[in-house]
Amino acid sequence: MFSIIQAAGWPIWPLIASSILALALIIERFISLKTSKIAPPLLLEEVLRVSRTSVPTPDVVTQLEQNSALGEVLASGLRTLNSNPRCSEDELRSHMEGSGRLVAHRLERYLSALGTIASAAPLMGLFGTVVGMIEIFGAQAPAGGSGGGNPAQLAHGISVALYNTAFGLIVAIPALIFWRYFRARVDEYLLTLELATERLAHHLVTLRKK
């Protein structure tokens, strides 16, 4: 492996750094975007059951907020009613939507960086290819009027060009795949949060009218 890095020359080092960063981001997103941390399947039904007759106490709301991202959004609606039982339906929805935007921002964290790596890696590989081509042409320049090129420098230039092109694609393809995967996963979570918010808001408005 080290011999390949040596053959690829100095332009491969930015690609290696990008690959390490991309791997770290992918692992972090896999850990952070677990369903249990974002939207536990039975959480909404549990909240509706607990608040069937009255709004839960602040202690229960705090526990809900710490449960997951969905719990944080739902808790914002319950806390609004606890602090201001006479708040309007628009105010209730506004507080829940504000909490939802904060959660959405956290869910999308680092996705832009991963997408940037997916876009930039082929360009960095192309840069390494250009550097290799420059070395190739340099190897073909006449030396001392002999008219012959330097075979060793020619081979090194070809290695730089090919290895950097390949490594750029090796970094970019997985980064792009995982970026699209996480993007779709976040969109699915956001839809789940939106539907749950709408359902709880309707439930709380109905509860307050009783």
Q: What is the mean pLDDT of residues 74-87?
A: 87
Note the pLDDT tens digit of each residue in 19-75.
Answer: 999 999 999 999 999 999 999 999 999 999 988 888 888 899 999 999 999 999 999
> What pLDDT is attached to residue 2?
65
Q: What is the mean pLDDT of residues 111-122?
A: 94
Whether 1 contacts 121, CB under 8 Å: no
Q: How many domains does the chain have?
A: 1
Report how far residue 16's alpha carbon sits from residue 163's, in angstroms, rounded to the nearest whole number: 12
Q: How many CA atoms lie within 13 A of 41 on its CB side?
A: 0
Whether the pLDDT of residue 12 is over 90: the answer is no
Whether 149 contacts 140, CB under 8 Å: yes
For residue 162, give its domain range.
Answer: 2-209
Q: What is the mean pLDDT of residues 100-123?
A: 94
Report how far residue 162's alpha carbon sits from residue 136's, in angstroms, rounded to the nearest whole number: 12
Based on the number of CB atoms within 10 Å of its own CB, is 81 exposed (0-12), middle (13-18) or buried (19 or more)?
buried
Q: Is the pTM of this model over 0.85?
A: no
> What pLDDT is attached to residue 87?
81
> What pLDDT is attached to residue 176?
96
Q: Whose CA is closest to 160, among 19, 11, 13?
A: 11
Dihedral pair phi/psi, residue 166, rounded to 5°: -65, -45
Report how far residue 69's alpha carbon sits from residue 189's, in angstroms, rounded to the nearest whole number: 10
Torsion region of 92: left, alpha or beta (phi above 0 gives left; psi -120 to 50 gives alpha): alpha
Tell which wins on pLDDT, 115 or 86: 115
Report how far residue 133's alpha carbon sits from residue 138's, in angstroms, rounded to the nearest whole number: 8
